[in-house]
Amino acid sequence: MTATFQPCKLRGTIDAPPSKSMAHRYLIGAALSGQVCTLSGVDYSEDILASIDCLRSLGAEISADGDRVTVDPAGFMKPENASVLECRESGSTLRFFLPLALCFGKPVTLRGSERLFERPLGVYEDLCRENGFDFLKGSNSVTVCGNLKSGTYRLRGDISSQFITGLLFALVLLGDDASVEILPPFESRSYIDLTISALRSFGADVSFTGEYTLSVRRSPMHAFSGRIEGDYSNAAFLDAFNHIGSDVTIGNLNPDSLQGDRVYADYFRKISAGTPTLDISDCPDLGPVLFALAAMKNGAVFTGTDRLKAKESDRGAAMHAELAKLGGGLLFGDNTITVPKQELRCTSLPLSGHNDHRIVMALSVILSQTGGSVDDTHAVRKSYPGFFEDLKQLGAEVTIR
């Protein structure tokens, strides 16, 4: 599908959608707790549906009523449970569930899109090789077989925090004292803080015992029921309109949130005020919208950009290709991307969303100013299914065909 914009300004009040990062963690934490838990404020994006599918395949009973999800883990991780987990296009789901699959002592296959399996899995491949576990990767699946035990593990900290989170879930399930040593540099620590916060809500004893060491201690777990907080990652796309002349008030955001993407507000201010140098190694999901805003303002230099190559698309290359159609572009260096000051203009060529939700939303911010169209609008279902409806509610002149 294609979204076609007329130049427009947005006005009104809107709630940020629930946090996808937190929903993944709380749904899995509920299953690990061993108790019936109810979570509200769940948004059924494609990624969250993938995690729900995997939890069901592993024996958890999950029922939904509106935005309320009840998790009954009575049958979770029983030996007879399904040996195939469908991860769709969700990198979080794949990386969170693969260590759990290593706890069965039997082959388990995790399947998804080919693009998903182009993204790095080397951290887990190394873990399997070091422990004598099977790890067989294909174009759209990986089959693993292992008998993971509690102990001390070492993981790289410069690829994705999702690997560390996934291992923590498995170690909490195993129930004995364990530790994870993170090899620096350690990027995206804020996402590990989210994981620790979620697991502690269910009684797990997980904490940092040093700058690069995580401890998991035996602890009884309990039920937790609560509401998923609003998502700063997606709120950034809504707030970006405010920096190009719109007037949008965004609710449902916790000012004390641990979400690392809270930094977007400070980064937006710096981009609007000048030509800053900004490190996005801890907030790579903000890359596309930061590039978009910088292109419409005075430019900026971004460091810590290498991980953008391993997202749903190569996000630096994708944004460069689409900005070039509008008369702009990006400059690439060693782990850096420079956005020069540029004059963007409407083009009759449709922009490509590269089947990447964050590229589609970032380009939508630009097109609200220049006019024009972007395809692959279905990609927003991955994290923010109501994105275009929310824009229309705020007065965006956009049609979807």
Alpha-carbon gap, residue 273 to 370, rounded angstroms: 21
Among 43, 53, 231, 285, the active-site one is 285
The four Cα atoms 72, 85, 129, 219 give a dihedral, to 10 degrees, of: -10
Coil vs helix vs strand at 364? helix
DSSP state of 187: -
What per-residue confidence (pLDDT) applies to 20?
97
Query: 145 φ, ψ to 5°?
Result: -150, 120
Place of tokens 């789901």: 93
Per-residue pLDDT in tens (0 to 9) along the chain, 401 residues: 999 999 999 999 999 999 999 999 999 999 999 999 999 999 999 999 999 999 999 999 999 999 999 999 999 999 888 899 999 999 999 999 999 999 999 999 999 999 999 999 999 999 999 999 999 999 999 999 999 999 999 999 988 999 999 999 999 999 999 999 999 999 899 999 999 999 999 999 999 999 999 999 999 999 999 999 999 999 999 999 999 999 999 999 999 999 999 999 999 999 999 999 999 999 999 999 999 999 999 999 999 999 999 999 999 999 999 999 999 999 999 999 999 999 999 999 999 999 999 999 999 999 999 999 999 999 999 999 999 999 999 999 999 99
What per-residue confidence (pLDDT) applies to 40?
98
Alpha-carbon gap, residue 10 to 248, rounded angstroms: 7
User: Count of H helices and E strands in the chain?
Assistant: 12, 21
Identify the structural domains of the chain with CATH numbers, from first to last: 2-17+230-400 (3.65.10.10), 20-217 (3.65.10.10)
What per-residue confidence (pLDDT) applies to 82?
81
Clarify whether 134 is annotated catalytic: no
8 Å CB contact between 311 and 291: no
What per-residue confidence (pLDDT) applies to 80?
85
DSSP state of 318: H
